[in-house]
Structure 1
Amino acid sequence: MSDTAPKDLFSKFDELIAMREGILATGVEDPYNLVMEKVLSPTRAICNGRDTILLGTYNYMGMTFDPDVIEAGKDALENFGTGTTGSRVLNGTYQGHKECEDALKEFYGMDHAMVFSTGYQANLGIIATIAGKGDYVVLDIDSHASIYDGCAMGNAEIVPFRHNDIEAMEKRLRRIPEDAGKLVVLEGVYSMLGDVAPLKEMVAIAKKYGAMVLVDEAHSMGFIGENGRGVAEQAGIMDDVDFIIGTFSKSVGTVGGFCVSNHPKFEVMRLVCRPYVFTASLPPSVVATAATSIRKLMHGSNKRAHLWENSKKLHRGLKDLGFELGTEEPQSAIIAVIMPDLQQGAMMWEALLKEGLYVNLARPPATPANMTLLRCSLCAEHSEEEVATILGMFERAGKAKGII
């Protein structure tokens, strides 16, 4: 018998563990273990016993406390119970799931809609199922983890290109064999910096090389585009996109994911997509709230206009205070404030929390170019006064911590 000790399967995480312990050793609160004791509204909660403005929840359209949405959830809970206890292909499809898919088809003007239990599963399932061994997935290097995981699960060849670089994307496509299956995966809004993809140009190039196109509109649905359909709508290319992926956990205000498409063979996905077939379906109350929220978002132009005003005001105010931001101009409801390093970022995060403001502390390796970010996500329910208050909080915390 060998004297060699068996490999510790957790040893691969030692660097991350040391980094986290180093931050906590400074006395900073754990930025990844915040507890909201009570949620008061889409923009405020009690965090650590303190009334706190929420600026890191992705609740872009503020639908979480909409009275019609809440009422729909209550009705479904009473009439259909707490859960389906089954997969969509067995006993897990209720009337509410069909109504939710109908709402999505109407919202996007598409022929097909397929609802998943999470947005992560939507990307995982669709990408892994349509792009398999021998196929190529051309994607932006800053793509979400669920996109990369979908490529790995499907065993497709991953071909990344530099972020939002149109020429780099074309070079990659040019090198792929003409007769190979090709899928280009793009995001409307990239969630770390809040920047928008040049979809019009990129989709045109994808089509030139015979590739199918999937656009993840998780962070643009509800807000961007005349009808809130996302960056593809704003760019006027809805008819050129083969698949749109989205989530219910942002603007829709609940949980779940979806894919919409006009592809004539799309319905076969219900039989071959493993993360759809082998997962319990969403509870009736969740799909009822989602369907109601989606239908209300169709008429959310006033909310969209107010959210744009909030975004412009916060971006301009932070820039004027001297903070370094992820984009030169506001492009979405996400505004990323760049920190000098992780330790100073954690200290600034805590200083803001003590002021009564919650933002996201985003760190490497999830961030582009190993940046540390304080990521702010605005809500249509933030008042003009709240945005002014937020700027005051950033100014006081930034000066106290030597960031500005």
Structure 2
Amino acid sequence: SVAVTGAPPTVLVDKLIHASLYHGCAAAGVRPVRFRHNDVSHLEALLHKVEGAGLKIVLTESVFSMDGDRADMVALAAVCRANGAFLCVDEAHATGILGEDGKGLADGQADLVMGTFSKALGGMGAFVASSSAVCRWLENSGSGYIYSTAPSPMVLGAVEAALDLLPRPEMERVRVRVADLAERFRRHMQAGGLDTGPSSTQIVPVVVGREETALALSRSVEAAGFLAIAIRPPTVPPGACRLRVVLHAQHTVEQVDALAEAIFSGVRDIP
């Protein structure tokens, strides 16, 4: 932004973006302005207050990694367009698994999309997608790109093969299956009085409150044969500790049901 306009940018971020995005802001010497989580009206009010000639950049995730909820991409895009803001979206948890043909949730909405090859695409590395002008600018100004080694041809070949698979009808059935498994697990938890927060994706938190409770429950379900990591501050706020459950296509209905029972059993055994 400084290179293009001669003025520093204003970066507005959803307050629950991933820590890596905050680290990126810090590395760029940018102090972001935070808007309330998934509150497009608050973002709009903040955009109206921005002064100066620098770019207005809005940074969000499409699927939030700890709550498993989604940004309203259509509303965000509309507000950004109306206020001359450049919308950047991290699609790490949406690429391949959500949206038409697995294209994610920001398809056709964002000015820049970034994501990873290491989740649904089963590889490693990451990508940035934007206009050719923006990509050329990043190639020539992004130190993390300039001073790094290119991904291996084997990795890129695997990713290309994964991308070829995404639009196939059988992959749509896989995506539906993952969504159904996640919904089944949420229903189990909610029927048992446990809090799954605003989750609407394959990421399902089981919010239990205290750090000690989350740790004890994680150990209990591991003893039953399941790995569900206890998430604690500073990743989540105090009092919002949780197990983070992520469903994928190789899970079975029987495993989802057994995990739910293991969680209920663990909760009953915690003093």
Deviation at 1:368, TM superposition (A): 4.2
Counterpart CA distance in 2 for 1:131 and 1:152 is: 20
Matches within 5 A, 1:3-402: 134-177=8-51, 179-233=53-107, 238=108, 240-299=109-168, 300-327=171-198, 330-368=199-237, 371-402=240-271
The letter of the residue matching 1:302 is R
Residue identity (%): 27
CA RMSD, aligned part only?
2.1
> 1:287 and 1:309, CA in 2 relative to 1: closer, same or farther beyond 3 A?
same
Partner SS state of residue 182, structure 2: helix
1:213 aligned counterpart, secondary structure: strand
Whole-angstrom distance in 2 between the partners of 1:165 and 1:265: 27
Query: Do 1:218 and 1:245's aligned partners in 2 also have CA atoms closer than 8 Å?
Result: yes
Give TM-score, length-normalised by structure 2.
0.92
CA distance in 1, matches of 2:130, 2:116: 15
DSSP 3-state at the match of 1:290: helix
One-letter amino acid of the structure 1 residue matched with residue 49 of structure 2: R
| 1:186 counterpart SS class | strand
- Is the 2:38–2:71 Cα contact (8 Å) retained in structure 1? yes
Which fold has the larger relative contact order, with Cα–Cα distance below 8 Å and residues 6 or more apart in sequence?
1
Q: Which amino acid aligns with 1:150?
A: G
Q: Judging changes above 3 Å, is the alpha-carbon distance between structure 1 residues 368 and 257 closer, same or farther for their aligned structure 2 residues? A: farther
Partner SS, residue 230 of structure 1:
coil
What is the DSSP-based 3-state SS (H/G/I as helix, E as strand, rest coil) of the residue aligned with 1:394?
Answer: helix
CA change 1:155–1:129 in 2 (3 A) is farther
Number of matched pairs? 269
Do 1:359 and 1:374's aligned partners in 2 also have CA atoms closer than 8 Å? yes
- Partners of 1:128 and 1:287 in 2: CA distance: 32
Larger radius of gyration: 1
| CA–CA separation in structure 2 for the residues paired with 1:334 and 1:289 | 25
On the 8 A contact 1:249/1:255 being kept in 2, the answer is yes
CA distance in structure 1 between the aligned counterparts of 2:193 and 2:249, rounded to whole angstroms: 25
Q: 8 Å contact 2:5–2:54 — kept in the other structure?
A: no
Asked if the contact 1:314–1:391 (Cα under 8 Å) also holds between the matched residues in 2, the reply is yes
Distance across 2 between alignment mates of 1:350 and 1:317: 20
Listed as ranges, the gaps of 5+ residues in structure 2 are: none
Offset of residue 179 of structure 1: 2.8
Q: Which amino acid aligns with 1:143?
A: I
Once residues 4 and 185 of structure 2 are traced to their aligned partners in structure 1, the CA distance between those partners, rounded to angstroms, is 41
Where do 5+ consecutive residues of structure 1 fail to align? 1-126
Aligned partners of 1:199 and 1:381: how far apart in 2?
29
Residues 2 and 8, structure 2, Cα contact 8 Å, conserved in 1:
no
- Counterpart CA distance in 2 for 1:215 and 1:129 is 22
Q: For 2:210 and 2:5, locate their aligned partners in 1 and report how far apart those are by CA, in whole Å.
A: 38
Q: In structure 2, what is the Cα distance between the partners aligned to 1:134 and 1:295?
A: 40
Cα displacement string for residues 334-380 of structure 1 (whole angstroms, at most 9, x for unaligned residues): 00011121111101100010011101211111114652110000001
